[in-house]
Amino acid sequence: MNRKKAKQLRIMLAVMAVTGGYAFQNHAWAAEAFTGHPGDYTDFVEYQGEIIPPADVKSEYTFEKGVFLNRPTMEDAFAVSDSAQNMTIHVGKADGRTYDFEAVGYNRSFRSVNGRLTIDDKIDGKSAGADYHFYNDAKSRDKVFDDDLTGHSVKTLYFSNKSTSSISGHSVTIDSINNNTSANSPLVRSHGILGQDAKSVKFNMTGDFNLDNEQRGIHMDQIYQDGTMEFQAKNINVTCSTPNENLAYYSVGVYAYGYPSTAKLTMKAAENLNVNGYSTALQGMGLVDMSLSGRNLTLDGNPPVDGFRGIFLNGASTDDSKITLDAQDTLKIIGGTGEGDTGYKILPVL
């Protein structure tokens, strides 16, 4: 190597030492550079393209000034769908916007299937206090069912098949807006959150957790493996603000089913926990361990259908099926024709 080339090599090595060498994948990009790839993005991002997290490596997306994943004509805004995918999204505050992270698809906001998904508001290791809004397109239900009236369903958030998901921040709002105002099918096809054999789903908010869905607010099925769903917030509200009479028979605010596996669902509110607007507020079927706690608990079935109630437990056994309610100040169970007009009904055998 001649002297000139040796000098050039020393300069190159010095530059690599200063910049971190091969750390270009962690470069801070401007918003217009976002094309769905992991990285640190310093401006607000609005994106309509596809996001496919790479497999066999942890992928981190940092949106320091917030992000809007806007795909109302596609199935979902983003997805983790492979067991080798491990996706983390960090969200900072978006100046002048109601929400710091919004994601919309015509069926689902997002789905987490097989792999691992983490959403938090950690920027430079500190909590930014981010507010999230996950929703589907207003006409998504009609669009899906026009294609197939027998099998498809709408689920704003979908967790399935051994996946592990964690969402933390200041607040979250989950909407299924007016997506069945004209449909006349009574089948169970609309879910705010649908979990099917997910390993773990966790929501941890320092502010409020708000969910509005016309048919099933939170629906959990565990058949092939045990699973957990945990919700923790200052206030937890699971509501049906605009009830649809066509769906009254299958209208349940919080539902868990486990058999032969066990479904464990936990909801902890520092202040108020409210489930209202549904024919049945809280329902457990099979092997379930459901625990709700807060300063004030309200489970309001207030059903338009005769025979429904605030709480309904149809367990697999008296030992392995249970619902626990822990209220520091007030507990209200409101329902139509529960046992002794108490608003609840318990059946010991599935």
Is the residue at 10 inside a domain? no
- Whether residue 100 is contained in a domain is answered as yes
**Least confident segment among 206-210, 222-226, 275-279, 346-350:** 346-350
pLDDT of 177 over the 90 cut: no
Percentage of the chain exceeding pLDDT 70? 77
Q: What phi and psi, each to the nearest 5 degrees, are found at residue 285? A: -130, 130
Structure tokens at 192: 């705010």
* Domain presence at residue 173: yes
Instruction: Provide the residue count of the chain.
Output: 350
What is the tens place of the pLDDT at every residue in 147-173? 444 446 788 999 999 999 999 999 999
- Of 164, 84, 165, 157, which is closest to residue 120 (Cα–Cα)? 165
Structural domain includes residue 129 = yes
Minimum mean pLDDT range among 124-133, 199-208, 233-242, 308-317: 308-317
Domain annotation covers residue 5:
no
pLDDT in tens, 268-324: 999 999 999 898 999 999 999 999 999 999 999 876 566 567 899 998 888 889 999
How much helix, strand and coil, in percent to the nearest 5, is found in the chain?
10, 50, 40
**Banded model confidence at residue 23, pLDDT cuts 50, 70, 90:** very low
What is the model's pLDDT at position 335?
A: 77
Residue 75 lies in a domain: yes
The SS3 call for residue 136 is strand
* Residue 144 in this model has a pLDDT that exceeds 70: no
Note whether residue 287 is domain-resident.
Answer: yes
Tell me what pLDDT residue 247 has. 76
- The pTM score is 0.86
- Say how many domains are in the chain: 1
Q: Is residue 40 in some structural domain?
A: yes
For residue 311, list its beta bridge partners.
Answer: 282, 344
**pLDDT at residue 142 above 90?**
no
Residue 12 has pLDDT above 60, yes or no: no
Question: Which residue range forms the structural domain that includes residue 305?
Answer: 27-347
What residue type is assigned to position 12 of the chain?
Answer: M
Residues 281/315, Cβ–Cβ less than 8 Å: no
Taking residues 50-69, what's their average pLDDT? 94
